[in-house]
Chains A and B, each alone.
Chain A
Amino acid sequence: MSCDLKPKDRAGVINPIFTCQPAGAQFASIGIKDCIGIVHGGQGCVMFVRLWFSQHFKDNFLMASSSVHEDGAVFGALDRVETAVDVLLMRYPDVKVVPIITTCSTEVIGDDVDGVIRKLNEGLIKEKYADREVHLVAIHTPSFVGSHVTGYDVALDAFVQYFAKKGEPNGKLNLITGWVNPGDVTVLKGLLSAMDIDATVLFEIEEFDSPLMPDKSGESHGTTTIEDLQGTANAIGTIALNRYEGGKAAKYLENEFDIKAIVGPTPIGIRNTDTFLQNLKNMTGKPIPQSLVKERGVAIDAITDVTHMFLADKRVAIYGHPDLVIGLAEYCLDLEMKPVLLLLGDDHGGYKTDPRIKALQENVEFDMEIIMNADLMDLESRLQNGLELDLILGHSKGRFISIDYKVPMVRVGFPTYDRAGLYRHPVVGYKGAIWLAEEMANTLFTDMEYKKNKEWLLNVW
């Protein structure tokens, strides 16, 4: 019985789990109100990321490109940034925040984005946009470093570093959610509200699930404000739910402004949600109310219905964002399941010292593999070589493995474009725990029926 943590044993990537850093910076950018990012690089770096968001959310998100073409790649393309900023500001009068997000090409050619921002601030912004609040924020996300997960972490850190400003204590908590869905934010805000805690949520993305209105006003965009970001320096503390998606910013606020930071755990499952509430209680002194005792009870009741009859001993592979994967693995263990394979899509140096991974290594009593810098071929090749799985948890890019190897799959994480509306459902909190347990059970049920594998079991339970 062992739990190995190791990198994948190939140099290249076959069927990637992750994309590159600029995509993460773009996801962070759309969370901020009156913000349109400019990605400094080729147009595909924006076009496809916008498509990716729209595949997942079935909605449109705004992002601009500096449209670097051949001449820019040869002679430098900072003039493209200057034009892009001006054109964007002229045509979008409400825009206040413009992150300049670098890519592999513009990092390799060595464009000095920080320099051009200084130049713009002293020139164009001062002269042409003197009566307008404009913030140009450099975000360095070369694609050959990290992944979209680190890109999100880097961008959030850059925003907080740019905006956070010491002032009067605001009595609020900073809640850094990590890369989540609107449904998660709703649940998290519900928990905060039940505990009567006032919080700055980074990022407020409930409006990503935007309406189609009779007056045509619906628009998918985050609603975190500049003031929210500035105020993060004056909070009573920071809870970053995800170590790899926002942990950097939490640490920055702690080091720079002495804002106490608690990083993790990702509140997936009952136990981690309990911990989250305890952390909230410790940080704010507010008690955990009866309403949450009841909410938790409803969840425990629902989960009990499916756990030891159906989920117990089921063998699961999980891939996706590291905090999500680890959180799901922990929850699966509480559900008596066996997460036998965890795939983390990048080579983050922190995995080796992550206490949650250490705990798995020390305590798991079945064979488990955790692969770093993994791709989906790491899953497929194991299935080819006889790995037995009852269930896959992961995002839509792995759909063909589920289909071809006939292993049922619960879509979870980002992106989940091959199922309708999953962004509306939470995976965090007690409500997320219910959704996950029931979704896993129902997915297994459908599979039993489709394969005629003891489908009669479901007549009575």
Chain B
Amino acid sequence: MPHHRFECSECIPEREKHAVVKGPGEDLTDALPLGYLNTIPGTISERGCAYCGAKHVIGTPMKDVIHISHGPVGCTYDTWQTKRYISDNDNFQLKNTFATDVKEKHIVFGAEKLLKQNIIEAFKAFPDIKRMTIYQTCATALIGDDIGAVADEVMEEMPDVDIFVCNSPGFAGPSQSGGHHKINIAWVKNKVGTVEPEITSDYVINYVGEYNIQGDQEVMQDYFKRMGIQVLSTFTGNGSYDDLRAMHKAHLNVLECARSAEYICNELRVKYNIPRLDIDGFGFEPLSSSLRKIGIFFGIEDRAQAIIDEETARWKPELDWYKERLKGKKVCLWPGGSKLWHWANVIHEEMGVEVVSVYTKFGHQGDMEKGIARCEEGALAIDDPNELEGLEAMEKLKPDVIFTGKRPGEVAKKVRVPYLNAHAYHNGPYKGYEGWVRFARDIYNAIYSPIHQLSGIDISKDEIATDKGFSTQRMVSDVNLPEEVKNSETLRQYTGGFDSVSKLRNKTYPYLEQRAASVEA
């Protein structure tokens, strides 16, 4: 597997070890990009910092918590309202963010007093919230504030509150991944085992590495509950602080984003003998297999199979409608970390697209192993990509669509490559059976947008068609489709609504109710 040298990076030869092309007949032992190394300064990398990895990615999706950052206001402000981790408590954690507002005098004289004042004020402002996470930032790490001591002091004075301290300043690691690690380890070390939960099912899981982007967690939780499984905690999307203190009582850790949360699963396995089961919530086949594995683990495979059958029957004809129209389209799969391997194979298998490149902003070599393993031959894999390399890759590979973050998506837009938001999604959720169809629908709408077709026309040079007042996606997508596909009576476009999640919040679950009733009797 040859390393790939970008022309734009010839002057920084160390970059060559960060990109490979998956060549024919070659495997992971031939070449693997380096990963999780210090960023080369000035490359215009897309990486964030360890603070955001801890606070923004993992900490803040916890829904019933005051999330306070100890430092100047910027870290708090900048990470606020930039993601879509919703929750079923009216999005408290999405709406509210807290900063201790460290100023120059605190840098000189210390900011511990200020921190204590802040903690008390914040609990006072939201008297219903009794849980808090305090995040260290670069400035307060460097001045050496003892956040833990202040938190202990407050907890002694206010016995009804509980505070978690996360020491993960922005500089603590090459990327946000350093923060994922720090908050995982701190949580398992300091908080797991401090609450004894009520067990309401014979089948109890922690759902780990799931951040409820646009409702992903709620979709998956619905399947688990339909199987009669108690989701003791979710780490961390739509998750509750006290539930997460009780993680030690689950029978199984179901792990989704191993990149950000495998650490806690590994620690829980060693410390509490809870096995780790890695799953994929994306895609019909991987999701079905995942549900089945959980069913097999608990001896309730039939319940899993019932869901698989029902959901597949409901949604597969819609997925296939899109697959017929997406076949052969070229995709750059350029997410942050885990989606490069969650998606690389299944979008090829189930939507028919060709993944011509994968990259990871903050992944480790393990993510590249998974991602490259799941790609087809010829795919270009890039670690810690930078702006020019992304542009060069798009120029060379000519993708039809790119899955990446919001800002890199704007870069792609300018070179006429439509983008879908891989982190926050366009019209998610993308997990679950219906979600996977929503993803296919979004890809289809991106690629076949009539406006996208118009964007390539240079009215000063090109002959302009004067016989058309409009076009539609299907006028383009169906041109070369066989009649039987075009007019298929079984295939259909997405029939779900704008909001596929809220309705899940009021559902009842027979297996769980039966168990509760039998316990009462």
> Are chains A and B touching in the complex at the 8 Å CB cutoff?
yes
Find B96's partner among A14, A23, A52, A85 (CB 8 Å cutoff). Answer: A14
Distance between Cα atoms of A103 and B107 in the complex (Å): 13
Q: Among the listed stretches B138-146, B243-251, B285-293, which one makes contact with chain A, having 4 or more residues with CB under 8 Å of it?
A: B138-146
Q: Of all chain B residues, which has the CB nearest A215?
A: B458
Chain B residues with Cβ below 8 Å from A86 are 42
Q: Mark A346-383, 1 if CB is under 8 A from B, else 0.
A: 01000000000000000000000000010001000100
Q: Mark A48-89, 1 if CB is under 8 A from B, else 0.
A: 111110110011101111111110110000001101111110
A452 in contact (CB, < 8 A):
no
Question: How far apart are B100's CB and chain A's nearest CB, in angstroms?
Answer: 5
Distance between Cα atoms of A50 and B388 in the complex (Å): 16
Question: A12 near B100 (CB under 8 angstroms)?
Answer: yes
Question: A212 near B8 (CB under 8 angstroms)?
Answer: no
Find B114's partner among A11, A18, A22, A215 (CB 8 Å cutoff). Answer: A11
A19 in contact (CB, < 8 A):
yes
Question: A60 near B414 (CB under 8 angstroms)?
Answer: yes
Chain B residues with Cβ below 8 Å from A15 are 80, 95-98
Find A400's partner among B78, B95, B172, B415 (CB 8 Å cutoff). Answer: B95
Chain A residues with Cβ below 8 Å from B11 are 87, 90-91
Q: Mark B438-470, 1 if CB is under 8 A from A, else 0.
A: 000000000000000001111000100000000
Q: Of all chain A residues, which has the CB nearest B361?
A: A47
Q: Given A13-B99, A83-B40, A142-B104, A47 and B47 touching (CB < 8 A)?
A: yes
Distance between Cα atoms of A34 and B381 in the complex (Å): 31
Q: Mark B184-200, 1 if CB is under 8 A from A, else 0.
A: 00000000000000000
A123 in contact (CB, < 8 A):
no
B513 in contact (CB, < 8 A):
no
Q: Mark B33-65, 1 if CB is under 8 A from A, else 0.
A: 000001111111111111110000000000000
Point out which of A58, A104, A210, A373 has the most chain B C-beta atoms below 10 A from its C-beta. A104
Chain B residues with Cβ below 8 Å from A23 are 74, 78
Question: A55 near B82 (CB under 8 angstroms)?
Answer: yes
Q: Mark B396-436, 1 if CB is under 8 A from A, else 0.
A: 00000000011110110111100000000000000000000
Chain B residues with Cβ below 8 Å from A65 are 39, 41-42, 44-45
Question: B117 near A12 (CB under 8 angstroms)?
Answer: yes
Distance between Cα atoms of A108 and B111 in the complex (Å): 14
Distance between Cα atoms of A42 and B170 in the complex (Å): 6
Q: Among the listed stretches B118-126, B203-211, B276-284, B489-497, which one makes contact with chain A, having 4 or more residues with CB under 8 Å of it?
A: B118-126
Q: Of all chain A residues, which has the CB nearest B12?
A: A87
Question: How far apart are A347's CB and chain B's nearest CB, in angstroms?
Answer: 8
Q: Given A48-B78, A377-B125, A105 and B41 touching (CB < 8 A)?
A: no
Distance between Cα atoms of A90 and B7 in the complex (Å): 12
Chain B residues with Cβ below 8 Å from A88 are 42, 44
Q: Of all chain A residues, which has the CB nearest B9?
A: A91
Q: Of all chain A residues, which has the CB nearest B388?
A: A91
Q: Mark B172-186, 1 if CB is under 8 A from A, else 0.
A: 111110000000000
Question: A87 near B49 (CB under 8 angstroms)?
Answer: no
B169 in contact (CB, < 8 A):
yes
Question: B46 near A104 (CB under 8 angstroms)?
Answer: no
Chain B residues with Cβ below 8 Å from A103 are 138
Find B49's partner among A45, A59, A80, A91 (CB 8 Å cutoff). Answer: A45
Distance between Cα atoms of A79 and B84 in the complex (Å): 37
Q: Given A42-B49, A65-B45, A16 and B76 touching (CB < 8 A)?
A: yes
Find A54's partner among B72, B91, B106, B410 (CB 8 Å cutoff). Answer: B410
Q: Given A105-B142, A144-B72, A44 and B51 touching (CB < 8 A)?
A: yes
A10 in contact (CB, < 8 A):
yes
Find B138's partner among A55, A81, A105, A218 (CB 8 Å cutoff). Answer: A105
Question: How far apart are B408's CB and chain A's nearest CB, in angstroms?
Answer: 8
Distance between Cα atoms of A394 and B48 in the complex (Å): 28
Question: B138 near A381 (CB under 8 angstroms)?
Answer: no
Chain B residues with Cβ below 8 Å from A212 are 413-414, 416, 455
Question: B44 near A62 (CB under 8 angstroms)?
Answer: yes
Distance between Cα atoms of A52 and B407 in the complex (Å): 9
A214 in contact (CB, < 8 A):
yes
The count of residues in chain A whose C-beta lies closer than 8 Å to any C-beta of chain B is: 80
Point out which of B78, B102, B413, B414 has the most chain A C-beta atoms below 10 A from its C-beta. B78
Q: Of all chain B residues, which has the CB nearest A216?
A: B415
Q: Given A12-B100, A47-B48, A55-B82, A73 and B43 touching (CB < 8 A)?
A: no
Chain A residues with Cβ below 8 Å from B415 are 216
Find A43's partner among B45, B82, B106, B387 (CB 8 Å cutoff). Answer: B45
B103 in contact (CB, < 8 A):
yes
Which of B66-117 touch A at CB < 8 Å? 68, 71-82, 91, 95-104, 106-107, 114, 117
Chain B residues with Cβ below 8 Å from A73 are 138, 141-142, 169, 171
Question: How far apart are A141's CB and chain B's nearest CB, in angstroms?
Answer: 10
Point out which of A14, A45, A212, A373 has the most chain B C-beta atoms below 10 A from its C-beta. A14
Q: Of all chain B residues, which has the CB nearest A399?
A: B81
Find B457's partner among A44, A52, A143, A214 (CB 8 Å cutoff). Answer: A214
Chain A residues with Cβ below 8 Å from B80 are 15-16, 397
Q: Given A18-B73, A49-B78, A144-B104, A12 and B49 touching (CB < 8 A)?
A: no
Distance between Cα atoms of A21 and B73 in the complex (Å): 10
Question: B47 near A59 (CB under 8 angstroms)?
Answer: no
Question: B98 near A12 (CB under 8 angstroms)?
Answer: yes
Q: Of all chain A residues, which has the CB nearest B460?
A: A214
Q: Of all chain B residues, which has the CB nearest A90?
A: B11
Q: Mark B7-35, 1 if CB is under 8 A from A, else 0.
A: 01101100000000000000000000000
Question: B138 near A70 (CB under 8 angstroms)?
Answer: no
Q: Of all chain B residues, which has the CB nearest A44?
A: B49
Question: How far apart are B69's CB and chain A's nearest CB, in angstroms?
Answer: 10
Question: How far apart are B333's CB and chain A's nearest CB, in angstroms?
Answer: 20
Distance between Cα atoms of A288 and B50 in the complex (Å): 56
Q: Mark A130-170, 1 if CB is under 8 A from B, else 0.
A: 00000000000011110110000000000000000000000
Question: How far apart are A13's CB and chain B's nearest CB, in angstroms?
Answer: 4
Distance between Cα atoms of A162 and B428 in the complex (Å): 49
Distance between Cα atoms of A373 and B77 in the complex (Å): 14
Chain A residues with Cβ below 8 Å from B458 are 214-215
Q: Of all chain A residues, which has the CB nearest B91?
A: A400
Distance between Cα atoms of A409 and B103 in the complex (Å): 31
Question: A108 near B142 (CB under 8 angstroms)?
Answer: yes
Question: How far apart are B22's CB and chain A's nearest CB, in angstroms?
Answer: 26
Question: B97 near A55 (CB under 8 angstroms)?
Answer: no
Chain A residues with Cβ below 8 Å from B47 are 43, 47, 67
Find B72's partner among A20, A42, A214, A219 (CB 8 Å cutoff). Answer: A20
Question: B74 near A69 (CB under 8 angstroms)?
Answer: no
A124 in contact (CB, < 8 A):
no
Find A143's partner among B74, B408, B413 (CB 8 Å cutoff). Answer: B74
Question: B77 near A16 (CB under 8 angstroms)?
Answer: yes
Question: B139 near A144 (CB under 8 angstroms)?
Answer: yes
Q: Of all chain B residues, which has the CB nearest A86?
A: B42
Chain A residues with Cβ below 8 Å from B71 are 104, 143
Q: Which 3 A-B pairs have the closest CB atoms?
A: A20-B74, A42-B170, A84-B42
Q: A12-B98, A91-B11, A212-B455 given; name 20 further pairs at CB < 8 Å.
A: A10-B125, A11-B100, A36-B44, A45-B170, A48-B79, A48-B82, A54-B406, A54-B407, A58-B410, A64-B43, A65-B41, A69-B39, A69-B173, A73-B138, A73-B142, A84-B42, A85-B42, A87-B43, A143-B74, A397-B77
Residues of A bordering B, CB below 8 Å: 10-16, 18-23, 36, 38, 41-45, 47-52, 54-55, 58-60, 62-70, 72-73, 80-81, 83-88, 90-91, 103-105, 108-109, 142-145, 147-148, 210, 212-216, 218-219, 347, 373, 377, 381, 396-397, 399-400, 404
16 interchain pairs (CB within 8 A)? Answer: A12-B117, A16-B77, A38-B42, A43-B175, A44-B51, A54-B407, A60-B410, A67-B39, A69-B173, A87-B11, A103-B138, A143-B71, A144-B107, A145-B103, A214-B457, A396-B81
Residues of B bordering A, CB below 8 Å: 8-9, 11-12, 38-52, 68, 71-82, 91, 95-104, 106-107, 114, 117-118, 121-122, 125, 137-139, 141-143, 169-176, 387-388, 405-408, 410-411, 413-416, 455-458, 462
